[in-house]
């Protein structure tokens, strides 16, 4: 068996008095496909920088096999001293490297090589950095959040490119699908130490949960042992004094160990408390767009697009960077007028927007002032006043961070701050532009659960395929040339629906018909139900039946004679749930009737 290319043993590192790494290990073998996972702030990027030789640990041993080459993709690449992206992509190439590969990678990533690095967008910066990291095909390739700011086509291209590389891969990413596709082993950095799983990310979360459950059981056993020892000291038969003194000392140590174990477990399992403050109920109709179009210069951005979004829908908007996702959002929400067509907004809309560039964060202010608006100790969360320190803790901020300038927060902390600001406001419409950027996997899970339970409407722009699959009820996809198409289900459902169907050929000499152009995809053919309508017709009856059963159960609960006297708050909540369920059932019945009439009318014509 070949020796490892790189080994880190017992790494220790302390920043500002707080230990970050307390005995972390990392081994990278030839051909490794390794993902490094952990919570925001756990030290993943720092450990990767130590492995790359960019940061020196306080203690520990780093061994790199002689002659082994490393390339490290930083989250924020340094373009100093280069005039073009081509020059940057060729940085560090030697005579033995293929200089044409740098140009190939730039072209594949949508760059010419002539761009001025000072004028690059976030996505272009990431593409140039990827070309620079991939160009020499090193022995070890370390990528820190490579999918950030990339659109879906670029992410899927990168997956294919990395699957072919001969380099050993070490990946840090919040993109579950990306990690599942590429990794074959997983290193979990948790509370300063590392644990390794000899399987890819797809098996990680179940393994992590099992380890945390075992730790919980061990902590519970230790607490029980403390209780037994305390009981012996108080009520046991008096023994020799020396033995008692020694056992009392052991108990003190046991108490310290138990307290430390419980503290460590709490630190490892602490979660963001995500709760959206829901406003009053909006009207049934949220948005209705009829034949809207928008052109900038000679470029069509939206071409004759129609959609109808109802209360409770969760709609994903996807497409390449520059396709017009933000423009479509602005048209639907009335911030931008279409060149042609009409947009109708629903009633009682209370909108909260989370922008991906964090532009609404007031630069230079403290964390506390960013939450309260400045000079206050209290924050309104829905219709309730809360102390800002208490609310900060819900989003895993320590009390001592209250005065921290937001410019000094990490990307993950800024993401949590944006969520804290947005979720404090009452809403019935959430517009989320890349909300998953820089969030750790645990927080992503909680965000998905919160949005899944949210009673209002969600418009989501995201390049995270797994997040889309878990959350949305339909996706609106940019098909190209200003054409947009809506598909029922999540991202994976869309890809299945978009696969071209092979035409039947009965005559061996006959030529198959050409596939319909993208322009035809965006407009359903006349005389047929759309896929979304067909899907609704098939699924609505079952959904209505389930809802009717829930309504009967709620009515039965409310009919209990002593329910109100026993639990007034529970009675009010159940009554509200019943009202919401009955309203939703009426809407579903109306939708089903409209679709049935439409189907019968189309069948009568044919």
pLDDT (tens digit, 9 = 90+) per residue, 318-342? 998 888 998 999 999 989 999 999 9
Number of Cβ within 10 Å of residue 85's Cβ equals: 27
pLDDT the model gives residue 544: 84
Number of Cβ within 10 Å of residue 126's Cβ equals: 24
Please determine, for residue 510, whether its predicted confidence score (pLDDT) is greater than 70.
no
The residues pairing with 400 across neighbouring beta strands, listed in sequence order, are none
Please determine, for residue 309, whether its predicted confidence score (pLDDT) is greater than 50.
yes
Structure tokens at 143: 């990528």
Topology classification of domain 6-206: Rossmann fold (3.40.50)
- In order, the DSSP letters of 396-453 are T--GGGTT-BGGGS-HHHHHHHHHHHHHTS-BSEEEEESTTTT--HHHHHHHHHHHHH
Please determine, for residue 505, whether its predicted confidence score (pLDDT) is greater than 70.
no
Rounded CA gap, 379 and 424, in Å?
8
Rounded CA gap, 356 and 207, in Å?
32
Rounded CA gap, 70 and 49, in Å?
11
Residue with tokens 């373009």: 79
How would you class 237 by CB atoms within 10 Å of its CB: exposed for 0-12, middle for 13-18, buried for 19 or more?
exposed
pLDDT confidence bin for 156, thresholds 50/70/90:
very high
pLDDT the model gives residue 388: 86
pLDDT tens, position by position, 123-142: 889 899 999 999 999 999 99
SS3 at position 118: helix
SS3 at position 122: helix
Rounded CA gap, 147 and 126, in Å?
8
- How far is C-alpha 276 from the geometric centre of its chain's CA atoms? 17
Q: ∠ CA(121), CA(123), CA(127), 5° rounding?
A: 115
Of 68, 522, 142, 443, which is closest to residue 271 (Cα–Cα)?
A: 443
The residues pairing with 290 across neighbouring beta strands, listed in sequence order, are 342
CB 358 within 8 A of CB 434: no
User: In terms of DSSP bridges, do strands 168-172 and 193-197 run parallel, antiparallel, or are they unpaired?
Assistant: unpaired
Handedness of CA 582, 587, 590, 595 (dihedral sign): negative
Of 254, 256, 261, 263, which is closest to residue 229 (Cα–Cα)?
A: 254
pLDDT the model gives residue 173: 92
Please determine, for residue 480, whether its predicted confidence score (pLDDT) is greater than 80.
yes
Structure tokens at 292: 């809207």
Rounded CA gap, 49 and 56, in Å?
8
Give the strand order in the sheet containing 59-64.
18-28, 6-15, 59-64
Rounded CA gap, 451 and 461, in Å?
14
Structure tokens at 571: 């009675």
pLDDT the model gives residue 255: 56
Structure tokens at 207: 């393994």
CB 134 within 8 A of CB 141: yes
pLDDT the model gives residue 451: 81
- Calculate the dihedral angle through the C-alpha atoms of 27, 29, 35, 39, rounding to the nearest 10 degrees: 10
What pTM was estimated for this model as a whole?
0.67
SS3 at position 468: helix
Topology classification of domain 531-605: Helix Hairpins (1.10.287)
Of 225, 245, 68, 244, which is closest to residue 141 (Cα–Cα)?
A: 68
DSSP run (H or E) holding 536: helix 531-558
Please determine, for residue 33, whether its predicted confidence score (pLDDT) is greater than 90.
yes
Please determine, for residue 392, whether its predicted confidence score (pLDDT) is greater than 50.
yes
Between 6-10, 75-79, 358-362, the lowest mean confidence (pLDDT) is in 358-362
CATH architecture classification, 285-503+511-521: 3-Layer(aba) Sandwich (3.40)
Handedness of CA 31, 89, 178, 196 (dihedral sign): positive
Structure tokens at 185: 């082993």
Please determine, for residue 525, whether its predicted confidence score (pLDDT) is greater than 60.
no
Rounded CA gap, 418 and 360, in Å?
8
Rounded CA gap, 46 and 142, in Å?
12
φ and ψ at residue 373, rounded to 5 degrees: 95, 0
Residue with tokens 């109708």: 344
Rounded CA gap, 319 and 459, in Å?
14
pLDDT tens, position by position, 449-458: 778 778 889 9
User: In terms of DSSP bridges, do strands 193-197 and 384-387 run parallel, antiparallel, or are they unpaired?
Assistant: unpaired
Please determine, for residue 516, whether its predicted confidence score (pLDDT) is greater than 60.
no
pLDDT confidence bin for 238, thresholds 50/70/90:
very low
Contacts of 531 (CB under 8 A, 6+ apart): 487, 488, 497
DSSP run (H or E) holding 371: helix 367-372
pLDDT tens, position by position, 243-286: 455 555 565 565 566 556 555 555 555 555 556 555 566 678 89
Burial 328-365 (b: 16+ CB within 10 A, else e): bbebbbeebebeebebebbeebbbbbbbbebeebeeee
């Amino acid at each position: 068996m070949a020796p490892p290319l790189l080994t880190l043993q017992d790494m220790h590192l302390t920043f500002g008095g707080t230990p970050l790494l307390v005995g972390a290990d990392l081994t990278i073998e030839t051909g490794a496909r390794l993902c490094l996972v952990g919570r925001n702030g756990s030290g993943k990027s720092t450990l990767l920088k130590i492995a790359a030789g960019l940061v020196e640990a306080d203690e520990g041993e780093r061994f790199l096999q002689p002659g082994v080459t490393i390339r490290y993709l930083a989250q924020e690449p340094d373009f100093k001293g280069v005039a073009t992206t081509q020059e940057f992509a060729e940085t560090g190439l030697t005579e033995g490297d293929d200089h044409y590969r740098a140009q190939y990678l730039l072209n594949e990533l949508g760059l010419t090589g002539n761009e001025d690095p000072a004028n690059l967008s976030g996505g272009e910066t990431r593409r140039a950095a990827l070309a620079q990291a991939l160009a020499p095909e090193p022995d070890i390739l370390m990528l820190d959040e490579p999918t950030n700011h990339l659109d879906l086509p670029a992410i899927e291209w990168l997956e294919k490119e990395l699957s072919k590389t001969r380099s050993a891969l070490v990946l840090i990413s919040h993109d579950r699908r990306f990690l599942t596709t590429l990794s074959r082993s997983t290193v979990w950095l948790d509370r300063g130490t590392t644990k390794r799983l000899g399987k890819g990310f797809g098996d990680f979360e179940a393994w992590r949960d099992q380890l945390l459950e075992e730790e919980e059981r061990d902590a519970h056993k230790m607490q029980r042992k403390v209780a037994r020892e305390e009981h012996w000291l108080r009520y046991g038969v008096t023994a020799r004094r020396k033995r008692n003194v020694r056992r009392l000392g052991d108990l003190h140590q046991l108490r310290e160990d138990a307290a430390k174990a419980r503290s460590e477990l709490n630190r490892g399992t602490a979660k963001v408390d995500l709760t959206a403050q829901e406003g009053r109920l909006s009207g049934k109709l949220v948005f209705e767009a009829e034949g809207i179009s928008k052109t900038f210069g000679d470029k069509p951005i939206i071409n004759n697009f129609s959609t109808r979004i109802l209360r409770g829908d969760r709609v994903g908007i996807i497409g390449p960077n520059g396709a017009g996702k933000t423009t479509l959002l602005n048209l639907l929400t009335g911030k931008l007028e279409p060149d042609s067509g009409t947009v109708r907004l629903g009633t009682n809309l209370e909108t909260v927007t989370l922008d991906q560039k964090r532009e609404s964060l007031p630069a230079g202010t403290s964390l506390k002032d960013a939450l309260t608006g400045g000079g206050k100790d209290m924050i309104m969360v829905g219709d309730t006043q809360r102390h800002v320190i208490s609310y900060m803790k819900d989003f895993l901020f320590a009390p001592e961070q209250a005065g921290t300038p937001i410019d000094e927060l990490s990307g993950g902390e800024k993401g949590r701050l944006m969520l804290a600001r947005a979720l404090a406001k009452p809403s019935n419409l959430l517009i989320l532009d890349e909300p998953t950027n820089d969030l750790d996997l645990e927080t992503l899970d909680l965000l998905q659960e919160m949005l899944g339970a949210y009673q209002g409407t969600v418009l989501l722009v995201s390049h995270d395929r797994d997040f889309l699959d878990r959350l949305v009820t339909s996706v609106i996809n940019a098909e190209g040339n200003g054409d947009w198409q809506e598909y029922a289900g999540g991202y994976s459902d869309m890809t299945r629906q978009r696969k071209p169907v092979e035409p039947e050929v009965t005559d061996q000499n006959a030529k198959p018909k050409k596939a319909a152009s993208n322009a035809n995809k965006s407009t359903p053919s006349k005389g047929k139900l759309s896929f979304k309508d067909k899907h609704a017709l098939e699924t609505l009856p079952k959904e209505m039946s389930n809802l009717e059963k829930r309504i009967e159960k709620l009515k039965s609960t409310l009919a209990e004679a002593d329910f109100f006297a026993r639990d007034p708050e529970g009675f009010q909540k159940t009554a509200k749930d019943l009202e919401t369920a009955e309203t939703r059932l009426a809407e579903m019945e109306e939708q089903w009737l409209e679709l049935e009439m439409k189907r019968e009318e189309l069948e009568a014509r044919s």
